[in-house]
Structure 1
């Protein structure tokens, strides 16, 4: 309040103009008012940036909800934010070289960050999501977005770290959707960004969190766990509790990837007690981990409580992951919880985690799947067998046993239409995993031959709709297709030269 009082009494407004109206009236009551400013003031631009940035960040949160209603809301927020950034960008263009002197460095960085992020986000969204969120007529320009984020980082202003985090989100989180396809390209770039960022911000819990994600992509689970634990220990201020819960989730996932089921159950139990994100999903994951550790009676008790806890609504509907969990538990009930069909490995398949497993863990997982297939042969439904075959095929491809992996996945893909009654997600996911296997197997081929088989399978997967985790799989396929497009352009350039 003292600062505001001094600001007002000094005659300077927030927008950078000196208030001389009182003196003017005393000295010359009939004096002509000054002409309007040629450009927006620095304060006006800054205020617009703050508003646009809040809309942008809100839309990014909504995009993570994976529902049509959240995508619609995200689209509306993006539209409002984009229009504000567009107005500011047009104003900066009219300023020309004067922009660097008329607008402060931090505000310029905010414009670069916001407009760059919107372009990158829109360019990264698959057609299924773009039809919902970009109905307002905007499409993303990834090259333009990357250029603006680079400028944001170069300003060394207050949004420079946000620019680095945006790049890390693109290279690490997007690679997490398709690690076998994007990891080879994205991980080295992320390594470089992280090295520079951690050199400048050694205590940053955010950059340490991304270090943990990047190590997981490399299959270095121990290093990943150490990074998440350190990130959690650094997130000590009031809002840091949210980041600590996120690190707990990542640590629980790391334990599951390493088949440390008891430790995984402990982390998911902590998340249940903290009521973080979805209690129902974490209870389910905790029960699945307990079952995998040999404590099935405890797991069954937890499974039985789950249907009564599903109350979280978004846009009038239960969130997708809770729809999935509720359906699975009801299927378990039909067999008296006798045939739960390796729920931990099913989650890891859907979460695309097999690429982060060591060969030893993959081999142990394969043995579990084979034992379950033998146990349930002739007893389990076709749905259950299709899920097991998809898990097995994905594991075999990661082990380099491509012929066997392809046989498992093709068996699922070739099932007659309508044969799968409950697990509607399994056939498109089998197409995805078969494409991943083809990509790995054909990586040494030249030109189009490297991706022709994988692309055909991913195109087939795009044709399916109305299943759980549809948007998640769409992002994976879109990211893979972007990579194919980049490789195709590189191949054409090398041929031309």
Structure 2
């Protein structure tokens, strides 16, 4: 089978996969997976996706063995150099025209296999050694992508029939690397600085967009998927909810035309409606995605997660609880988080019976037992849940607005705030709670903690209502309570960053930088610290893109941005940009958690 046949077979398998025919796609790739690089890559990729979605150790081991074979198969097609040739290759400029077309694609396939193998390494074992091994594999992968980028710029492709597929693969690799790395606060980068990574968001987005322009190329649809996921999910989980939803919709429409029943694309259609605040339309799309296939129920879990939040945004606590319950029963991902969410949603219901209260207590009691560890550390969101449960069990006190607190830490107000029909009921609940706390101060064992949480949520609601001065007063009240807080100390740094975002909204960049510096330097060791530092990093990027230089505080100017991180026009990765950025305190599992959820 020649290169053109390999690629055509891989495209057919990809079409099957995106049309929910997962087993057919896998079976099409399997027979030649030990002799064809594209069959091997396709087969290993499907097993990889299955492993990360089920999180079953058996599936993970099967995927690892498949990726090892894929790496060996791709290696057979790569150009072999003797030691003398390798030395001369380093000493002189490489003539990429000496490579056959098959050898250029082998480099690309090898890099992709190596990356998937590295990601599996991260979840295989719960120790730091796995991260070191994975990091070394990713470094090699990055170096190969850099070489592939040089090939793209310097090779004469006149005689190459499959350039479009090679080009989209290079664009996907470079774009994905730059985008992923650019999102990480510098503390995480310091843990990986021996790998030599740095990233440029604009460069990454530009490459992915270029790669997605040709959906007939093998990796064109994959570039679209990465971009859509970034704008509709990643920006809302890790950033400031500033994704380009119109662009995501524009990219999605051709995919929906080609794959009208594709579960993944229907999910993204629902997600676009959700972030626009069109909750009813979002629910319909998520349910269509669920109904579109029954083979991989793991895709259902993505929809269950979003449906849970959709009903939560509407204040339908029982329906939100039911989807959290589905996740807890079916998904291998964070059962501690799902159980805490179930209890939190139930607590929001009015007129609770004694039976309901007993069930809530039982659910909270299960949370610490379900906590898991990745790379030897607990997930931040699970630490948060356990902390809250500890307060209930140790001090026999109820939580205040636990579901809305979860909405806040998951950045859900950026969705609720777009529609008065969603925001006004939430504001009414929060104001009623604030009144109840102040009028019954003696009934609250942690009065200042509870009041500060409620007033922070009120400030967020007022901010989205456009009542900025009132919102500012709420956030300042939280800051004034700093020394009175006993358990929920995370409220103060979060309120500080809210003040920074408020200042940015009012074009007061001086105060914005002041509050960011305060949040970075004055607070450590609080709950969900890494999550907040992703937001701080996103605000700094927004400041730099707006033309505000932060000088010695760690920002970069727009003139510097294209040359301080990412692949520049010559395909060379510079490492000076993010190394200068803020010494942000965070923990590595947050990155794993973000990718996972």
- The structure that has the greater radius of gyration is 1
**Counterpart among 542, 553, 556 of residue 483 in structure 1:** 542
CA shift, 1:277, in A, is 0.6
Distance 2:292 2:163 in 1: 31
> Which residue is 1:318 aligned to?
378
Q: Counterparts of 1:467 and 1:154 in 2: how far apart (Å)?
A: 44
Work out whether 1:210 is the aligned partner of 2:268: yes
Aligned to 2:249: 191
CA displacement 1:371-414 (0-9 Å, x = unmatched): 45236524332333332222222122222332232122112223
> 5 Å matches for 1:54-93?
54-57=113-116, 75-93=135-153
Report the CA distance between 1:278 and its aligned residue.
0.9
After superposition, the Cα gap between the structure-2 partners of 1:296 and 1:466, relative to the gap in structure 1 and judged at 3 Å, is same
Separation in 1 of the partners of 2:127 and 2:498?
A: 25
Residue 360 of structure 1 deviates from its aligned partner by 2.6
Shift in CA distance, 96/134, structure 1 to aligned 2, threshold 3 Å: farther
Question: 1:339-376: per-residue Cα shift (whole Å, max 9, x none)?
Answer: 22221111111111122222333233323432452365
Q: For the structure 1 residues 394 and 120, does the alpha-carbon distance in structure 2 shift closer, same or farther, using more than 3 Å as the test? A: same
Instruction: Tell whether 2:543 aligns with 1:470.
Output: no
Deviation at 1:416, TM superposition (A): 4.8
1:277-356 correspondence to structure 2 within 5 Å? 277-293=333-349, 294=352, 295-310=356-371, 312-336=372-396, 338-356=397-415
**For 1:200, which of 258, 266, 270 is the aligned residue?**
258
Write out aligned runs for 1:260-275 (5 A).
260-275=316-331
Deviation at 1:245, TM superposition (A): 0.7
Distance 2:206 2:310 in 1: 34
Which of 198, 220, 242 is 2:298 aligned to? 242
RMSD: 3.6
Which string of whole-angstrom CA distances, capped at 9 and with x for unpartnered residues, describes residues 422-453 of structure 1? 3232211111223333444x2xxxxxx35444
The CA deviation at 1:62 is 9.0
* 1:433 alignment partner in structure 2: 498
How many angstroms apart in 1 are the aligned matches of 2:106 and 2:314? Answer: 48
C-alpha displacement at 1:179, in angstroms?
7.8
The equivalent residue for 2:433 is: 369
Number of the residue aligned with 1:163: 223
2:467 is aligned to: 401
Pairing 1:23-172 to 2, within 5 Å after superposition: 39-57=98-116, 75-98=135-158, 101=160, 103-155=162-214, 156-172=216-232
The Cα of 1:187 is off from its aligned counterpart by 2.4
**CA distance, structure 2, for counterparts of residue 482 and residue 37 of structure 1:** 37
Q: Is the 8 A contact 1:194 1:207 kept in 2?
A: yes
Q: Separation in 1 of the partners of 2:376 and 2:304?
A: 29
SS in 2 for 1:182: coil
Higher relative contact order (CA 8 A, sep 6+): 2
Q: Hey, what's the Cα distance between the residues in 1 that align with 2:500 and 2:362?
A: 39
- Please identify, of 174-183 and 402-411, the stretch whose mean Cα deviation from structure 2 is larger: 174-183
How has the CA–CA distance of structure 1 residues 169 and 242 changed in structure 2, closer, same or farther, with 3 Å as cutoff? same
Q: 1:423 is matched with which residue: 477, 485, 488?
A: 488
Q: 1:140 to 1:157 in 2, by over 3 A?
A: same
Please report how far the alpha carbon of residue 325 of structure 1 lies from its aligned counterpart in structure 2 after TM superposition.
1.3
Deviations 1:131-188 (A, max 9, x none): 22344223123343334323322342121111111222332224314786625xx223
- TM-score of the superposition, structure 1-length normalised? 0.80
1:352 and 1:6 map into 2 onto residues whose CA distance is: 47
Give how far 1:191 is off: 2.7
Q: 1:345 & 1:405 partners in 2: Cα distance? A: 17
Deviation (angstroms), 1:260: 0.6
1:233 equivalenced with 2:266 (yes/no): no
Alignment partners' CA distance in 2, 1:315 and 1:64: 8
Query: Aligned to 1:488, what secondary structure does the other structure show?
Result: coil
TM-score between both structures, scaled by the size of structure 2 = 0.67
The 1:375/1:109 distance shift into structure 2, 3 A limit, reads same
Q: Indicate conservation of the 8 Å contact 2:169/2:219, yes or no.
A: yes
2:156 aligned counterpart, secondary structure: helix
Q: 1:376 to 1:72 in 2, by over 3 A?
A: farther
Q: Is the 8 A contact 1:219 1:355 kept in 2?
A: no
Q: Any conservation in 2 of the 1:75–1:133 contact (CA below 8 Å)? A: yes
Contact 1:177 1:476 in 2 (8 A): no
In the superposition, relative to structure 1, how do residues 243 and 192 fare at CA in structure 2: closer, same or farther (>3 Å)? same
Cα contact 1:75–1:132 (8 A) shared by 2: no
C-alpha distance 38-406 of structure 1, shift in aligned 2 (>3 A): closer
Deviation of 1:234 after TM superposition, in Å, equals 2.4
